[in-house]
Structure 1
Amino acid sequence: MTIKMDICSDLGEGYGRYELANDEALMEIISSANIACGFHAGDPRTIQKSVQSAIKTGTGIGAHPGFPDRVGFGRRDMILSYEEVYTDVLYQIGAVFAFAKANGAKLQHVMAHGQLHNMAQFNEVYAEAITDAVYDFDPNTILICLPGKLLALAEKKGLKPATVIFADRRYNDDKSLVSRREKNAVITDENEVIEKVLDLVIRKKATSINGKDLDIVGDTLLLHGDTQGSLSLAKKIKEALLDAGVEISPLGKWL
C-alpha cells in the first residue's frame, strides 16, 4: 500500500522588509503551508504574498496562530485565560482565511505555533480554547497537532485532526519535542535528519533523546525553513521520500 504524506513548513514569518526564510523556494517543495498570522510574526502584506504563492504552487493554505509575542517569536511561556487563547486563535485564523477567500482559495488547516502548541499538549485550558476556536470557525478545518491533550480533544469534538512529525527535532520519552532551550534539541546533521525522516514516515518509529523506542504515526512532516542550509535539506528530504515510494500531497486531498 502506498504511503501518503503531507510536507508542511512554517512560512510568512517575516515582517515588513524582513524575511526569515526563502518562502517562495520552499513553497515549491512542500505541499502545505503554515502561514504566520501577525502575532508571533507576519503582517498583512506577508500573509497576502504567502497565500498567493501557495495558490500558485497548489500548496494547502493553513493558519499558524501563536502567542502575542513578537520579541520572543512565540517561543516563550505565556499564562493566558481561556478567553484570551480562544479569541486570539480565532482572530488569527480569520486573518489568513480572509486573504485566502479574497484570492479565491480555501483555508485547509490550522496549526498552532511554537509554545502555544507545546503548552496545549499538556494544558487542558489551552487545548480547549484552540479546539473550540477551530470548531466554531469551521469543524471541517483540519487541525494539525502533536499527541497529547490537543489531539485528544480534537478527536473528542469531532474535528479533523492530523498528527505532525518533525524532521529535525528530537523527541522526549513521552513523544513531546525536546525544548529548544535544551542541548541537541535540533538535529543539524543532514544524513541523520534524512535517516530519521525515513524511520518516521515509512517505519513509523523514532528514538527518544534517552534512547527509548517510540511508535510515531504522522500525517504531515514539518520542515523548518529558518535554519542554515534548510532549503537544500528540504530538497534532499523530499527526494528521499519520493525515492522510497512515498506519495506527497496536501492533507486536504486525502485526509
Structure 2
Amino acid sequence: MEETTQVTVCDRISQNRRDNMQPSYMSDTHWATMVEKYSTEEAKKKSAKTGKSHGDEGLDEPPSYTALARKTHTGKDGSFLDEHTEELALEVEEAVEQMLQDGSPLGDSKIDSTAASNAKRYLLNQKYIKRGKTKKGIVYGLGSVQYKNISASVPIPVSLKRNLDVDMRMSGFETTISEVKEDIAGVKEDFSALKTEINSRPQGQPQAPVQSQHQPQPQAQSPPQHLTTNNQSDIDRWCQKLGM
C-alpha cells in the first residue's frame, strides 16, 4: 500500500511539473528547487532514458507482461539483467507455447490473426500474474505498470487479473462486431450480384396464343350404305313409287 501511494504521488508531481502547475501542498521554495533541478540537460537526458526504458516503445500495443519484462530488464545486447526475471519470463513463455501445441484452438488457421494475438497475450499475462506474484503482494518485474487502474482495497494480482478479463471481453466484443459487419457486407455484395444478373437477362419475347386442346374435330363421313333386302314385296312397293 505504501509503495502504491508513493508511485501515485510521484506520478502526480511529475505531471504537475510537465504542466508547469505548482501543487497546492508544495511550498514555493521546494517547487522552484524541483523545477530548476529537472531543467538541466543532464536531468532531461536521464528522464528521456528512463521513459524509453519503462515505456512500450518497440512493442505492439498493448504488450504482454513477458514482453514488458524483457524490455525493462534486458541490456543493449538483449541479455537479461537478473536471473529471476529471465527465469520467470522463459517459464511463462514455455508454458504458453506448450498449451498452444497441445491442441489449443489458437493454432487454427481459420481464427483471425488479431483475435489469436489477443488470446495469446491473455494467456501470457495470466501465467505471468500467477507465477510472478510475490509475498509482498506485487507482481515481480512489472514496475509501476501494475499500479495503474487498480483499487487500493484489492490485492494487485487480483486487480491485474480482473482488468485482464475485462480487456479480453472487450476484445471479444470488438471481434464479434467486426465479424457481423463483414457478414452484412457479404450479404450486400451477394444481393448486388444477384440483382445485376437478373437485370442483364434478355427480356422474354411475346408468345403466340396457345390453342385449345379441345377444338372441334371434323366428323368423318360415313360411307353410303347400300339397301339390301331379300323381301320381294318391299321391292315391288319401291318400284311402284318410282313409276316403274
Q: TM-score, normalised by structure 1?
A: 0.22
The structure where strand makes up a greater share of residues is 1
Larger radius of gyration: 2
TM-score of the superposed pair, with normalisation by structure 2: 0.22
The answer to which structure has the higher helix fraction is 2
Q: Answer 1 or 2: higher relative contact order, Cα 8 Å, separation at least 6.
A: 1
